[in-house]
Amino acid sequence: MKIRIKNGRVIDPASATDRVTDVFIDLQLISAVGSVPDGFVAEKEIDASGKLVLPGLVDIQCRVREPGLTHKASIASETNAAARNGITSLCIPPDSKPITDNSAIVEQIHHSNQKAGNRCHIYTIGALTKKLQGEILSNMGTLKQAGCIALSNAQRPFLNNLVQRRAMEYAAGQGMLVVIQPMDQALYGNGCAHEGPLATRRGLPPIPEAAETAALAKDIELVAQTGARTHFGQISCARSVDMIRQAKKDGLPVSADASMHQLFLTDFDIDNFDTRKLVIPPLRSEQDKHALRAGLADGTIDCICSDHQPHDADAKLKPFPSAEPGISSLDVFLPLLFKLVEEGVLPLAEAIAKVTQHPARIFGLPAGQIAPGELADLIIVDDQQSYSCRSEEFLSAGKNNAFEGWDFSTRVEHSIIAGKPID
């Protein structure tokens, strides 16, 4: 289909574009920005006057619960929620059931996405070790051939540092990105809340910041030893930001992201044992939140992810220490991004880059920009709406909403994925 998007404010950080103009789509690709291509006759026109035209968002940490946990959500439900909320590319970690440690599971995930209508692009992250048990290395070459874009052991520990080193060396030899969420399992223990006054007062098992920073220090040393290109996911502590900043100054091949909820919520938001705000890593202190925001602003933190984890209602009804961690985030990802702009954390173009250009570059995805010849993944956004966030309006199957009642001003009006309008 040939589509003309008219009179929208096109913001594309990758090409430093910010102007009111037209975008022309021919089949799956963008054919032109600005002037009408020779012989172009639109089959569909979309008037974007007064609206923003942005690259489709890229979410590098999203659990869709399929295979294995379809009582919580499915590829069909979550790709629909993503697409209609402006997220056109999803990166899926390997801790599904069964684990994404072989090509058959990769093919199953992509088959399920095709069956669901390919409403958005799904990219699989393969397991570094078999069954994520941290002992035997996976067949990384086969996973790469099957289409995995990166490798990770998710939140599972390695048997020892030698296994981790060998895994990173193998991944580096395959030219694949290693994704690490730094966690020292012994220091995490059975904790569920940030180690601070709130956890002490409420009698909640604490998680010290060293549970992240001690692991991160070791991980950075292994990057220096192996040369593996490494992305650190879901950073939560001020000290972690400092350590990644130094690693970048030292020239190590590292990048990092923070979860969107860590940029707004702190440990005091769980004061009434609100299990909707139970996450791993835990919500940290106000100081940590401000350090994460500063790290975004100075480029230490390259990207923002949703860390979307949809749950059924029962998962959050248990007492706080035994409830299941995770927030349903797809429906609030874009509105919260614009709230960061409203609060002066980032200028608009840089905020958009954190969820388009930067994650696409780091993970090597054909996404994140509006330019001739690029895949036609675009969204049209109205940033002048006012509404209150309600979980019953979520498109995700997960209604575990940590932002109930928050006031937002941004909605997606149209999503176009590989040149196809999403209804």
Q: Are 256 and 231 in contact (CB under 8 A)?
A: yes
Find the angle CA(167)-CA(96)-CA(279) to the nearest 5 degrees: 90
Cis peptide bond N-terminal to 93, omega within 30: no
pLDDT of residue 423: 81
Q: Are 279 and 325 in contact (CB under 8 A)?
A: yes
The structure tokens 């002037």 sit at 35
Look at residue 180 and give its three-state secondary structure: strand
First to last CA, the chain: 15
pLDDT tens digits, residue range 101-136? 999 999 999 999 999 999 999 999 999 999 999 999
Say yes or no to pLDDT of 336 above 90: yes
Taking the whole predicted model, whether its pTM rises above 0.75 is answered as: yes
| Architecture of the domain made up of 55-363 | Alpha-Beta Barrel (3.20)
The amino acid at 85: N
pLDDT of residue 148: 98
Q: Are 1 and 420 in contact (CB under 8 A)?
A: yes
Say yes or no to pLDDT of 8 above 90: yes
Work out the pLDDT band at 63, boundaries 50, 70, 90.
very high
The amino acid at 327: I
User: What is the DSSP secondary-structure string of 29-66?
Assistant: EEEEESSPPTT---SEEEE-TTSEEEEPEEES-B---T
Q: Which tokens belong to 168?
A: 């990173």
Say yes or no to pLDDT of 402 above 90: yes
Q: Are 245 and 300 in contact (CB under 8 A)?
A: yes
The amino acid at 244: I
CA 207 to the chain's CA centroid: 23
Q: What is the DSSP letter of 283?
A: P
Nearest to 205 by CA among 318, 352, 322: 322
CA 343 to the chain's CA centroid: 21
For the chain, what is the radius of gyration of the CA atoms?
21
Work out the pLDDT band at 297, boundaries 50, 70, 90.
very high
> Which of the residues are catalytic?
307
Work out the pLDDT band at 152, boundaries 50, 70, 90.
very high
Q: Are 166 and 228 in contact (CB under 8 A)?
A: no
Distance CA 283, CA 268 (A): 8
- Check if CATH label 2.30.40.10 holds for domain 2-52+375-389+409-422: yes
Average pLDDT value for the chain: 97
The structural domains of the chain, with segments of one domain joined by +, span: 2-52+375-389+409-422, 55-363
Sequence-distant (6+) residues with CB within 8 A of 272 are none
Say yes or no to pLDDT of 32 above 90: yes
pLDDT of residue 141: 97
Say yes or no to pLDDT of 299 above 90: yes
User: CB-hemisphere CA count at 13 Å for 106?
Assistant: 21
Q: What is the DSSP letter of 159?
A: S
